[in-house]
Every structure is written in structure tokens, then in C-alpha cells.
């Protein structure tokens, strides 16, 4: 992370691109700073302003557009939450926001405006959250999220796991992370030991949107996770100019499966302020999904979904 690119000028220089020709916004870069790991940067095509990995992290001028229906809290996660750091959307599940830190700043992120500082899990706050979870008679699964939960160190994670494993009705643990793809070095021996020794099933959901994200380093990290006995799933976001074509989506599913990861969800974009230029309309999304259904075996076709605040589950779109 010390070697990560943290400025727009450095990112453009590394790829041989001119700011004016690319159409970037320095204001957008101030509002939501650039952050790109060396692994991610090496996977980009030099000199290509339309590179699908670059588009995910490049502060575009269109981020400054005010678009009706796009808000800072599109899923009503904090304006509708009475319990900072703990998000309760669906029955039997609880989501913990462990950190606001990420290894890559994705411009379409639905939590790009999230007030992480208000929900920090301090020791006192964690005791309150743990008591709430212990009192939930329906709780079956805890989901670790962020930011990226694996930017939490192995020591704090071990302590957190121990507390969670004591919950009497907990049956599964799920971790949502981008790090196996963007910072594969994070999948170290300490983390693998924690996962391999878990007394209940653990699922790791990586967030890959394009087949080129499965670099040799990423594939090696995924192989290490498989060796620790976790279930590996992938969820993607359908993004205009990144993966909104049948061939790319099919190649992503195939590359994931060959690496040992099962395609899980293909999300329509959450309408977060600053990301409207990534949106793919529902009719085109359904057509793309139908096309990959006709091309791939069923177990390689992710479910096309949209998340709607107040729904009892993700809404299936196809």
C-alpha cells in the first residue's frame, strides 16, 4: 500500500496519458481521491484512456454532473440506520462495516460518500454490537464489509472472529473483499491460518468486473484461499464502458471458474452520486444477461440483480 498511486497526475503519467485528452476532473479527484495499487496499475494498458481497469478508477469530468435519482446514500444504509457500524438489511443476516479503508478507490462505489467515522467499531461500540447480535434469535450469518475488511490486520481479525464464533446461532461467516484481486499479497499465511481454522463455513466474495483483473498474482491469491478451504464467489457490477458486452461478461465467468471462483451476482449500478455515467439501462442489462445465458452453462451465469432499499432481498432482474 505504501507503493500505491495516490494522485491523478501520477496515475496519468504512469500510463502516458494527457489529462485534457482523457477528460478528467481534478475536483472529482479532490472529492474522492485516487487510489490504485501497483498490481492494478500493472494490469492496465499503457496509453489507452478507455482501458476497462483505468475507467473504474479514473476521476471523470462527468462525476460532477448532478443527475436526478442519484444520491449520496443510494441504499439508505446510514440515513435509515439506527446502529452505526452495523447494517441490518435482510432477515437472519448482519453486516459489519469494519473499516472505511480500501486498496483501490472505485469511482462507482455505492459507499463512496459513507460516513465511516461515525460508525467506527471502537471497543465500546463493538461490545454494544456484539450484545445486539447475541440477542438476535434469527441470526445465521455475519458479513464483514467496509471499505475492505481485509485491510484490518490479522491480530484484530482473530479477536473479532473469536467473538463472532461464540454467537450461539451463527452458522456462516462471509467476507466481501477486493484484495485478492488488487492486493494479492494480503492473502498471507496469517490470514490463511485464520480462515483454515474457522469452526464454521467461511465464504469469501471477491469483486471482479473484468477478466483482466485476474492477473497471475490474483490467481495465486485465489489458489491460496482455496487451499484454506473457503468457498469463493464473485459479484460484479455492470458498468458502461467496462464490461457491458457479452464477450467480456462470458470471459469473466470463464476466467473466474477456471481460477476456482463461482460467479454469484451481476449487479445493476447502485445510483450513487457521481457514478451515473457508468449506468446500463435495465433493458440492455437483461439483453446482455440473456446472451450470456445462451452462451454459458447455467452454473457460470451470475444472477442479474438490483438492490432496492426496503426489499426483503436483492431484486432479481432476469
Residue 79 pLDDT = 66
Q: How confident is the model at residue 166 (pLDDT cuts 50, 70, 90)?
A: very high
Q: Residues 65-117: pLDDT tens digits? A: 999 999 999 998 886 555 668 999 899 999 999 999 999 999 999 999 988 88
Helix (H) / strand (E) containing 172? strand 172-177
Residue 111 pLDDT = 93
DSSP reduced 3-state for 293? helix
Cβ atoms within 10 Å of 58's Cβ, excluding its own: 25
Instruction: State percent of the chain over pLDDT 90.
Output: 91
Residue 290 has pLDDT above 60, yes or no: yes
Q: Residues 20-33: pLDDT tens digits? A: 889 999 999 999 99
Set of cell numbers at residue 97 = 462495516
The mean of the pLDDT values for the chain is: 95
Residue 115 pLDDT = 86
Residue 119 has pLDDT above 80, yes or no: no
Set of cell numbers at residue 55 = 475507467
Residue 117 pLDDT = 80
Yes or no: say if 167 and 139 are a contact pair by the CB < 8 Å rule.
Answer: yes
Q: Residues 191-249: pLDDT tens digits? A: 999 999 999 999 999 999 999 999 999 999 999 999 999 999 999 999 999 999 999 99
Q: How confident is the model at residue 318 (pLDDT cuts 50, 70, 90)?
A: confident
Residue 99 pLDDT = 93
Find the angle CA(219)-CA(223)-CA(228) to the nearest 5 degrees: 150
Residue 80 pLDDT = 55
Yes or no: say if 105 and 35 are a contact pair by the CB < 8 Å rule.
Answer: yes
Q: How confident is the model at residue 120 (pLDDT cuts 50, 70, 90)?
A: confident
Residue 123 pLDDT = 83
Residue 6 has pLDDT above 80, yes or no: yes
Yes or no: say if 145 and 98 are a contact pair by the CB < 8 Å rule.
Answer: yes
Cα 126 to Cα 124: distance, rounded to the nearest angstrom: 5
Set of cell numbers at residue 51 = 482501458
Instruction: State percent of the chain over pLDDT 70.
Output: 98
Amino acid at each position: 500500500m505504501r507503493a500505491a498511486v495516490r494522485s491523478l497526475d501520477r496515475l496519468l503519467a504512469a500510463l502516458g496519458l494527457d489529462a485534457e485528452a482523457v477528460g478528467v476532473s481534478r475536483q472529482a479527484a479532490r472529492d474522492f481521491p485516487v487510489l490504485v495499487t501497483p498490481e492494478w496499475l500493472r494490469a492496465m494498458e499503457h496509453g489507452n484512456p478507455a482501458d476497462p481497469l483505468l475507467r473504474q478508477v479514473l476521476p471523470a469530468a462527468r462525476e460532477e454532473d448532478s443527475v436526478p435519482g442519484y444520491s449520496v446514500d443510494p441504499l439508505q444504509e446510514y440515513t435509515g440506520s439506527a446502529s452505526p457500524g452495523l447494517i441490518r438489511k435482510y432477515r437472519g443476516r448482519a453486516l459489519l462495516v469494519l473499516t472505511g479503508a480500501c486498496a483501490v478507490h472505485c469511482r462507482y462505489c455505492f459507499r463512496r460518500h459513507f460516513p465511516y467515522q461515525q460508525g467506527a467499531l471502537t471497543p465500546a461500540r463493538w461490545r454494544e454490537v456484539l450484545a445486539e447480535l447475541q440477542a438476535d434469535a434469527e441470526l445465521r450469518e455475519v458479513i464483514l464489509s467496509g471499505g475492505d475488511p481485509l485491510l484490518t490486520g490479522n491480530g484484530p481479525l482473530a479477536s473479532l472472529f473469536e467473538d463472532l464464533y461464540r454467537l450461539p446461532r451463527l452458522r456462516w461467516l462471509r467476507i466481501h473483499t477486493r484484495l485478492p484481486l488488487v492486493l494479492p499479497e494480503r492473502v498471507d499465511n496469517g490470514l490463511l491460518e485464520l480462515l483454515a481454522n474457522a469452526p464454521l463455513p467461511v465464504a469469501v466474495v471477491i469483486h471482479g468486473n473484468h477478466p483482466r483483473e485476474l492477473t497471475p498474482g490474483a490467481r495465486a491469491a485465489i489458489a491460496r484461499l482455496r487451499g484454506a478451504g473457503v468457498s469463493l464467489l464473485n459479484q460484479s457490477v455492470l458498468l458502461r464502458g467496462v464490461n457491458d458486452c457479452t464477450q467480456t461478461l462470458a470471459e469473466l465467468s470463464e476466467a473466474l471458474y477456471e481460477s476456482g471462483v463461482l460467479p454469484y451476482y451481476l449487479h445493476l449500478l447502485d445510483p450513487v452520486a457521481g457514478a451515473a455515467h457508468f449506468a446500463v439501462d435495465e433493458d440492455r442489462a437483461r439483453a446482455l444477461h440473456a446472451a450470456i445465458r445462451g452462451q454459458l452453462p447455467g452454473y457460470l451465469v451470475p444472477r442479474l440483480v438490483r438492490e432496492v432499499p426496503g426489499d426483503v432481498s436483492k431484486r432479481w432482474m432476469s
